[in-house]
Amino acid sequence: MSNYSPGLAGVLAARSKVSYLDGSKGLLEYRGIPIETLAEKSSFIETAYLLLFGNLPTPKQLKKFDDDIRTHRRIKYRIIDLIKCLPESGHPMDALQAAVAALGMFYPAKNVQDPEIQYISAVRLIAKLPTIIAAYARLRRGDDHVQPRDDLTFSENFLYMLTEKVPDKIMSEIFDTCLILHAEHTMNASTFSGLVTASTLSDPYTVVSSAVGTLMGPLHGGANEKVLSMLSKLGRIDKVRPYIEAKVKANEKIMGLGHRVYKVKDPRAIILQKLA
C-alpha cells in the first residue's frame, strides 16, 4: 500500500553530494564545506565551480572558468528584441523564464549527456542570466539596455548593468555573498522540478526554464517578493509590531519569518544579519 506524503515530506527522491542540510542544527554545507566558510572566504564564481564539479578549483581552473563566463555574458539581439516585446507590467520571472527557454533555440544541445555540452551550457546560463534580468529591468522602465563589461567581476557587472554605474566594493561584495547564500539549498521545489525535466533528457535551457517557473511561486522564491511588498506597505517601523501581532492572532503567515526545514535559525539569515 502506498503512503501519501503531502509536499513529498520525508520522500527520498535522489542521492546527492552537492549540498547537505540539517534543519535541527542549523547546518548548511556545499560539497562538505560550511556555508559560513564560503560566505567569508569564497566568491560566487568559485562557489559555482565547487557546486558544479565537486571540488574547489585551482587558481588556473578558476581563471579559465571565470574567463569563460566573462566571454559569454552578452546576449543576442534577438533575445533583446524578445524582451522588448514583453509587457512592461509583466512579472520579471515570467520574462526570465521566456528568455531562458529562448536561449535553447540559439544554442541547441544535441547530446545533453556530453560533458562538453553540459559545461558550455552551464557557463552560458551563469553568464547570460544576469544580462537577461538587467535588460528586462531597464527596458521595462524605458531605459536602454546596458552591455556587460568584461573587466568587472560577476557581481560588479550585474549591478553595473542594472544601474549603468560601477558599484563600490562593499556593495558588490555584499551582493556576491548573497549569491553564495542562495546558490544551493538541497532538494527544494525548483531543484526537484529541474531534475524531473532533466530526467527526460531535455536540454539544459528547458531544465532551467522549468526550475525558474517553480521558483516564481509565493511559497518558494516568490516569498522574497512578498517580503518586499509587505515592507513597502508598512513604510514605518512603528507599524511593524501591530502588523505582526495581528498576523499572529489571525494565525496567518508572516512572509520572511521562519523556514519549513529549519527548526532553529536559518544559518543564511545569521550571515545576512551581519551584512545588514
pLDDT tens per residue across span 158-195: 999 999 999 999 999 999 999 999 999 998 999 999 99
The overall average pLDDT reported for the chain is 94
Residue 254 reports pLDDT greater than 90:
no
Q: Assign residue 93 a region: left if phi > 0, alpha if psi is -120 to 50, beta otherwise?
A: alpha
Q: Which residues in 209-245 are b (16+ Cβ under 10 Å) and which e? A: bbbbbbbbeeeebbeeeeeeeeeeeeeeeeeeeeeee
- Whether 72 contacts 127, CB under 8 Å: yes
pTM, to two decimals = 0.91
As a CATH number, domain 44-222 is: 1.10.580.10
Residue 263 reports pLDDT greater than 90:
no
- Give the whole-angstrom CA distance, residue 269 versus residue 262: 11
Residue 1 reports pLDDT greater than 60:
no
- Give the whole-angstrom CA distance, residue 226 versus residue 90: 16
- Give the whole-angstrom CA distance, residue 147 versus residue 130: 11
Q: 120-141: per-residue pLDDT in tens?
A: 999 999 999 999 999 999 999 9
Task: Say how many CA atoms lie within 13 Å of 87 toward its Cβ.
Answer: 4
Give 145's DSSP letter.
Answer: P
The domain locations on the chain are 44-222
